[in-house]
Amino acid sequence: MGKLDSQETIKNYLAAVRYLKTHPQSTGKVGCTGFCWGGGVINQVAVNSPDLKAAVPFYGRQPASEDVPKIKASLLLHYAGLDERINKGIPEFEAALKEASVDYKIFMYEGAGHAFFNDTGSRYHEEAAKLAWERTIAFFKQKLKT
């Protein structure tokens, strides 16, 4: 991932959102989710895509506060209680979300560390992962239904 061009990566995601929105089998409503680095990418897609309806970043790096007013998607934000590095950005992000009247909800999973959803790693937290996934599916059903 270190060799990826972040701007090109975002452009690819934006193209995917546009494609999915207009796909013949699409309702026209597009949502996306991402984990760790991908969670940060999803935050950037939310900033840059007016076509995105719902985004669920898992413990992703937050966008710059000045970019938050560009977000049109509803956000479901999952954070790990023990993830000090990522969590440092939450207060500023949440203040910007409120100021911009972005539709969002934050869940903090106490006792879980960064990458708690990754069931192939030592930081997997089954209880947090299952609850976060249930919330994610319910959120997408609510925000993307026709």
- Annotated catalytic sites, by residue? 36, 83, 114
Rounded to an integer, what distance in angstroms lies between the CA atom of residue 123 and that of residue 112?
8
Amino acid of residue 143: K
Residue whose tokens read 């509803």: 74
Query: 82, 97 in Cβ contact below 8 A?
Result: no
Best CA proximity match to 11, nearest among 3, 1, 19: 19
